[in-house]
């Protein structure tokens, strides 16, 4: 298994925000993580990237406890929020910094960026300004590009469609779908954009108050209706 979770819990101020007794994610799955605000989605992704410590339990990446080794970092990438950005860098400097960490040469970086020309829409490169001075939408794009620049084998994204216009949402959802299919990349996406999640996910996890209450695949029309009804009831 690519990722395995055993007895994972996390609480804040004695209030349980995540409780996952057991979960396995196979290589090449594209997981859509959904739920209302406070469901525990971001907490889950932060635990998967070892940004916060669990109260109990273990997360294994390729049979290795992520809290005991750093090997998983070389094949895993994530963008969770703007805290991942280096705001006093230009986008070019930020991408170069990531490339140096993953030992990606300049040609590979340029090849990747050329594939994302439509996504950047001539608004990212060559602007001679710091990341902090870009719009939220373009900061989001820079963060997503930074996460996929290393061609990770495991990719984690929290609300990647936030702040993006419809064309950009369409582009990146298709790009992630192709990344998954072409390279068998394991992807976990948290999002409130249900249609984007439905269209690209091979499996959907529905969180409610930190508990996975549905773990389903494939994402067919019957499942879409069932999940949509859940959100209508809980809106």
- Domain-terminating residue out of 111, 131, 151: 151
Total domain count, the chain: 2
Both 145 and 158 in a single domain? no
Last residue of a domain, one of 113, 131, 151: 151
pLDDT values of the chain reduced to their tens digit, one per residue, 235 residues: 999 999 999 999 989 999 999 999 999 999 999 999 999 999 999 999 999 999 999 999 999 999 999 999 999 999 999 999 999 999 999 999 999 999 999 999 999 999 999 999 999 999 999 999 999 999 999 999 999 999 999 999 999 999 999 999 999 999 999 999 999 999 999 999 999 999 999 999 999 999 999 999 988 988 899 999 999 888 6
Q: Is the pTM of this model over 0.75?
A: yes
CB atoms within 10 A of CB 22: 11
Same domain assignment for residues 235 and 162: yes
Task: State which of 91, 120, 151 marks the end of a domain.
Answer: 151
């Amino acid at each position: 298994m690519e990722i395995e979770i055993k007895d994972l819990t996390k609480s804040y101020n004695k209030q349980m925000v995540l409780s996952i007794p057991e979960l396995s994610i196979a290589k090449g799955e594209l997981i859509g993580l959904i739920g209302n605000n406070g469901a525990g989605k971001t907490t889950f992704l932060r635990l998967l990237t070892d940004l916060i410590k669990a109260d109990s339990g273990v997360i294994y990446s390729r049979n290795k406890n992520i809290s005991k080794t750093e090997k998983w970092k070389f094949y895993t990438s994530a963008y969770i929020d703007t805290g991942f950005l280096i705001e006093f860098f230009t986008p070019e400097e930020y991408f170069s910094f990531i490339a140096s960490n993953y030992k990606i040469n300049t040609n590979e970086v340029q090849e990747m960026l050329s594939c994302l020309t439509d996504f950047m829409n001539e608004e990212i490169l060559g602007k001679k300004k710091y990341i902090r001075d870009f719009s939220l939408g373009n900061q989001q794009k820079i963060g997503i590009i930074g996460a996929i620049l290393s061609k990770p084998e495991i990719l984690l994204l929290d609300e990647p469609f936030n702040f993006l216009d419809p064309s950009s949402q369409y582009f990146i959802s298709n790009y992630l779908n192709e990344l998954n299919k072409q390279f068998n990349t394991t992807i976990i996406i948290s999002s409130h954009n249900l249609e984007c999640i439905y269209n690209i996910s091979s499996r959907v996890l529905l969180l409610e108050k930190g508990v996975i209450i549905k773990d389903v695949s494939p994402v067919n029309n019957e499942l879409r209706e069932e999940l949509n009804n859940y959100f209508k009831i809980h809106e």
